[in-house]
Amino acid sequence: MKKIEAIIRLTKYEEVRKALEEQDITFFSYWDVRGVGTAIEGHLYRGNVYDTSIIERRLISIVVRDENVDKTVEAITRAARTGEIGDGRVFIANVEETYKIRTGESGPETLYVKK
């Protein structure tokens, strides 16, 4: 199992969500986050210059079975890409184990609802 975390533009969230849904990735968590980038610009508003080095983004966190990693990453990168600086990043980490609290089950089978 792998944990995939993606930092994307807020404006691309709905496109990424739909792209994941098309790949049957329907359960994930997300947070609104802020980061500091290297591209520092000043914007002038009513005579004041504002620093825009603090960037608002959305962090998506998904745990998937190994066989779903490639299609998940492809869906995120395809939907989030604008071609401009600041499109974001995708991180992948190993997940040792997972447990379903309600039933006590463990393993990759706990990642999906049984039908």
Look at the pTM and tell me if it is higher than 0.85: no
Percentage of residues in the chain having pLDDT higher than 70:
83
39 has a pLDDT exceeding 70: no
Percentage of residues in the chain having pLDDT higher than 90:
68
Q: What is the DSSP letter of 58?
A: E
pLDDT in tens, 83-110: 988 899 999 999 999 999 999 999 998 8
Task: Look at 78 and 43; give whichever has higher pLDDT.
Answer: 78
Contact indicator for 15, 112 with CB cutoff of 8 Å: no
What is the rounded CA–CA span in Å between residue 15 and residue 11?
A: 8
Question: Residue 71 is inside which H or E element, if any?
Answer: helix 69-80
Looking at every residue in the chain, the average pLDDT score rounds to 88
Domain ranges of the chain: 2-111
Of the candidate CATH numbers 3.40.50.970, 3.30.70.120, 3.30.30.60, 1.10.1520.10, the domain formed by 2-111 belongs to: 3.30.70.120
* pLDDT reported for residue 17: 97
